[in-house]
Structure 1
Amino acid sequence: MPLTVLAVDDSRTMREMLTLALNDAGFEVRLAEDGRDGLEKLQAGAPDVVITDINMPKMDGFQFIEAVRGSGDWPGLPILVLTTESAATLKDRARRAGASGWIVKPFEETRLITAIRRVAMA
């Protein structure tokens, strides 16, 4: 059974790139346009791993991570941040919110796939 990944990103282009890369690696991919949409998708069925951007409208990635962790419904769900941001303060904020890892865009497919498998098996 393939690992399921929920990709939360407001960029349609990025969602398409993630879908292509992850489908090619054998993952099942679900998509959400922002944090609110991501929460709705989680309520419909939890994936094995979530990938989220930080800078999104309606509910940003930090708010999304905090909502997921604060709900208590998905305590062990791995959440990877995939963003253009690289500041150490933002990485630390994400880690404190409950993120499992951080990858800077543009991403290398092999690095992303390795990170997904690593957090899914942890």
Structure 2
Amino acid sequence: MVDILRPQLIELSQYCQSVCVGINLMTPTIEDGNNFGVEEQQKVVEAFTAVDNDLQRRQYDLTGYYQSRTDLMAKAVKYPNFEDSWDAIIERDKHFHNYCRLSLISVFNHYLNLHDLVEKNLKKNQNLRTASDINMY
């Protein structure tokens, strides 16, 4: 499952970072109090940043699993007759399998939520300047 989950986490993280950079590049300078769209852009960037932070945490958790499993395996090898060590490894693997499953569902939900957020705010985020601003150029 890690081979399936890790690329999904990385791909969505890259999308989030790209969208944040793109929105930040589209943000006009704050002038004359006509900045309603800028606030909307900032909310979208905050949402994408929150998702990216969640994805980064999940990637870090994948590494933590291997470390904790290694510690459990060392104890199980050191005390081979102590069956609780082997049971702990099995339980840890089950917990991690469930974590991976829930993480994949979370990635799917992030895609849906971010798409919905962008779709609802697309016009606001693209058309930040008023008609008088366009005539000035």
- TM-score over 0.5 (shorter chain): no
Q: Which has the larger radius of gyration?
A: 2
Which structure dedicates a bigger proportion of its chain to strand? 1
Q: TM-score, normalised by structure 2?
A: 0.22
Which structure dedicates a bigger proportion of its chain to helix? 2
Q: TM-score, normalised by structure 1?
A: 0.24
